[in-house]
Chain A
Amino acid sequence: MSNSHLFMKSGFPRAPLQNGLGRYVCQLQRITLKFCKNNGSSKGMRDFIENHLVDFAKENPGIVVYVKPRRHRTPVLVGEYLNGDREWMSCRNSTEADITKWVDLLKTQNGSSSSLRLRKMWHTDVPSIQGPWTPFLLRAPETHGQAYPSVDASKPLDAPQTATEKLIELFRQQQLETEDVLSQKRAE
């Protein structure tokens, strides 16, 4: 398995400039279609330009579209985003449908998503709503007036009963029982 993704730029899914809070701004600012006029590998790009490009430009007046014919070179899509990112994409032998989908992808993302490693699939500026825990949080009321050092408060809460303590308890119980029996007899 390759670990090349470890060296990619990393980040969190974030909307730039609080996009969408006030109004939505399409983050793709310009797109350049480079193609060859007679090479076969540009066939899909030429079809896209012929059939869909004018509609695309009409639907998205906020995106500047540049078309750049060049001889005997691979067709290429270059998207430039408002955050300064530039995404280069080879469309060699792509069909018209492929290119429509890629253009749609460029239009809907806010940077080159394939060159960003997401550290987590979510992000929050406020990790804890309750706030951090402190030793003063949810304290029992009786501990407020406690004077330290104190023998009672120093005992561990989960200390098991010792054998001596158990014997003493058994002895006390026995005494109570004999007292009970005696008092019953007296009553009779």
Chain B
Amino acid sequence: MSFFRCVAGVLVLARPLNSVRTVEARRHIKRWVAPTLRELAHRQQKQGPQKPEPRAGFVEWNYRSELFAFGKRLGENFELPLLQEAFTQRSYAHQEEEKQRKLGIEEVDLKIADNQQLAKKGAHIARAYVEAFLKQSLPKVPKEGQDAIASYLLSTETLAHVSSHLGTKDLIFTTEYPPSPESLAESLQAVIGALADSSGVERAFLFVRDFICTQLNQKDLLDLWTPKQPLQLLDEICQQRKLGEVEPRLLGDCGKNTVLAAYQVGIYANRQLLGKGFGEDVPTATETAALDALQSLFDIHDNRRPFDFGLQVETKNVRLG
């Protein structure tokens, strides 16, 4: 066997000497590239869509700079430890503690702070300020309507939308990536709480005004709050404001007894036209007209004056309880 190997080696060495020396034709087309790429693509397709990579896993990532820039971007001065606490979700803190326990570290004083307290505080501040803001900018809307609009502004979807557009997505410590809307919303509330702790509750109020209340801009307020029984509500309001008895009247109709029937109803009180509405039958038209009348009575119609977001709500009007 070893003899064979020797002979083979000699033959291999001897070949270039035997062959006629010509200009060697170099193959410029690399024939392995296409099959390799095809195989890689095939494997990628087989694996299915991949989860997005957390930005924090990249080489160019400095959490401290990111936290600092987060505050500066929003024009606020945060205390960095508080801000980091605001971005730590409870689930993450639990996971870390579990890891430590597994490693045999069982010390009670080494607890990782999570954002539950800050989120609670921030949610309280946000609710109080949003209610005061709505009370001042929509004074004619009844309590029920203001509550509905406030609950839209403080809903998880709105808060998560605001939060993700402020760049919290990469900063939050959670067990899942990308963070769920709930954790996005919670961390925004915690950021508000941290701001109140860092630079005072007044700055936190301005933060809520500039980032949460501005979501009302160009919104149809009737979408956020539609009274269930508008005619009854209108009746009550007219009695309260002493506008007279509410009286719906048919202003016009067309295409009666056809599929395309349309009725126009006007709502009068004390011979004054309050609102007009259309419908495919008279009750629907009356309801629409009542909504229209309510819109103009509450000053929430489409062509109302835009909200003033430079509004200064006095701190004494914000009921922090």
Q: In the complex, are the beta carbons of A134 and B278 less than 8 A apart?
A: yes
Q: Which of the residues A25, A64, A126, A139 comes within 8 Å of B218, measured between beta carbons?
A: A126
Contacts of B169 in A (CB 8 A): 84
Q: Which of A16, A32, A83, A134 contacts B60 (CB 8 A)?
A: A32
Tell me, yes or no, whether A22 is within 8 Å of chain B by CB. yes
Contacts of B177 in A (CB 8 A): none
* Known A32-B60, A84-B169: A139·B252 in contact at CB below 8 Å: yes
Nearest-CB residue, chain A, relative to B169: A84
B303 x A135 contact (CB < 8 A): no
A62's nearest neighbour on chain B, judged by CB, is B73
| Cβ-based interface call for A5 (8 A) | no
CB proximity to B under 8 Å, residues A1-53: 16-18, 21-23, 25-26, 29-30, 32
Kindly identify, within residues 130 to 150 of chain A, every residue whose CB is under 8 Å from any CB belonging to chain B. Answer: 131, 134-136, 139, 144
Chain-A contact segment, one of B9-17, B101-109, B121-129, B207-215: B207-215
Q: Is the CB of A82 within 8 A of B264?
A: no
Residue of B nearest to A143 (CB): B252
Chain B contributes a number of interface residues (CB within 8 A of A) equal to: 37
Which of B162, B167, B214, B254 meets A21, CB within 8 Å? B214
A94 to B262, CA, bound (A): 67
| Partner of B165 from A17, A22, A63 at Cβ < 8 Å | A17
How far apart are B163's CB and chain A's nearest CB, in angstroms?
10
User: Residues of B contacting A144 with CB < 8 Å?
Assistant: 252
Query: Which A residues, 49 to 106, have Cβ-Cβ distances below 8 Å to chain B?
Result: 61-64, 66, 68, 80, 82-84
Residues of B within 8 A of A (CB): 55, 59-62, 65-66, 68-69, 72-75, 161-162, 164-167, 169, 209-211, 213-215, 217-218, 251-252, 254, 262, 264, 278, 302-303, 309
Residues of A that sit less than 8 Å from B by CB: 16-18, 21-23, 25-26, 29-30, 32, 61-64, 66, 68, 80, 82-84, 125-126, 129, 131, 134-136, 139, 144
In addition to A22-B211, A29-B69, A136-B252, 18 A-B residue pairs with Cβ atoms within 8 Å of each other are A17-B161, A18-B214, A18-B217, A21-B309, A22-B213, A25-B73, A26-B73, A32-B60, A61-B72, A62-B74, A64-B65, A64-B66, A68-B59, A80-B55, A82-B165, A126-B218, A134-B278, A139-B252
